[in-house]
A = this chain, B = another copy of it.
């Protein structure tokens, strides 16, 4: 039973990598992980997996110190992004590290994330910025990053990428894609020399009750179909 669940999760992580790659949120690097419920371990795509064709066999199980629990596979050097967030956030069951362009561009222009599009309202309380262009290749940096993330749903690493967290893998894909989309819309307004029209508190409140598993599934199904049949 446990084995069955774990295999399913392994597959789900691999699928999320493929969708993220299709959507341009990944390129040759980037990683998605999922915590195995009731354990101190999680699954993540291995360091040397070729991001354009990730399958279940590219997923490695690691412990909360970021150490591999499988003989032949190594986690990414930035595994501490994941392990330290799982340590500090009991509510988080999935984490993605992305190199999505609009989010990076926003941080290079020193513009804070601001919800302007209905989907961007998923991050109603904003997305904090870790103001270093570091690789998170040590436990210490993982701890720092988790502190900046705090109780938010995402954190931006200036000039480098973002980290999105959620209650499950599909929630994370949703957050990853819609933070990028909202960033594009913000940038659109800045490029026209204007401040973007931010969502009102009421608008953000309304949508915070709308997003949830039904929509996560809908978004997942649509992009999974495109990533696997259209590319």
Indicate which residue in B29, B188, B226 contacts A218 across the interface (CB closer than 8 Å): B29
With beta carbons under 8 angstroms apart, the residue of B48, B53, B118, B194 that contacts A159 is B118
Q: How far is the CB of A107 from chain B (nearest CB, A)?
A: 7
Within 8 A of B (CB), among A181-231: 184-194, 196-197, 199-200, 203, 206-207, 210, 218-219, 221-223, 225-226, 229-231
Residue among B117, B134, B185 making CB contact with A203, cutoff 8 Å: B134
- Beta-carbon contacts of A24-50 to B below 8 Å, as 1s and 0s? 000111000000000000000000101
Known interface pairs A108-B186, A110-B194; 4 further A-B residue pairs with C-beta atoms within 8 A, sorted by A's residue number: A28-B218, A108-B189, A118-B160, A190-B191
Give complex CA distance A117, B133 in Å: 7
Contacts of A165 in B (CB 8 A): none
Q: Are B48 and A218 in contact (CB under 8 A)?
A: yes
Partner-B contacts on A (CB < 8 A) = 27-29, 48, 50-53, 101, 104-105, 107-111, 116-118, 121, 132-135, 158-160, 184-194, 196-197, 199-200, 203, 206-207, 210, 218-219, 221-223, 225-226, 229-231
A218 to chain B, nearest CB (A): 6
- The answer to whether A188 touches B52 (Cβ under 8 A) is no
Residues of B within 8 A of A185 (CB): 101, 104-105, 108, 159
Q: How many copies does the complex hold?
A: 4
Query: 25 A-B residue contacts at CB 8 Å?
Result: A27-B222, A28-B221, A48-B218, A50-B222, A52-B229, A101-B184, A101-B185, A105-B189, A108-B185, A108-B188, A108-B189, A109-B189, A110-B194, A111-B194, A117-B160, A118-B159, A118-B160, A133-B199, A133-B200, A133-B203, A135-B207, A135-B210, A187-B192, A190-B191, A193-B193
How far apart sit A197 and B108, CA to CA, in the bound complex (Å)? 5
The CB with the most chain B CB atoms within 10 A, among A51, A53, A108, A199, is that of A108
Specify the chain B residue showing the minimal Cβ separation from A27: B222
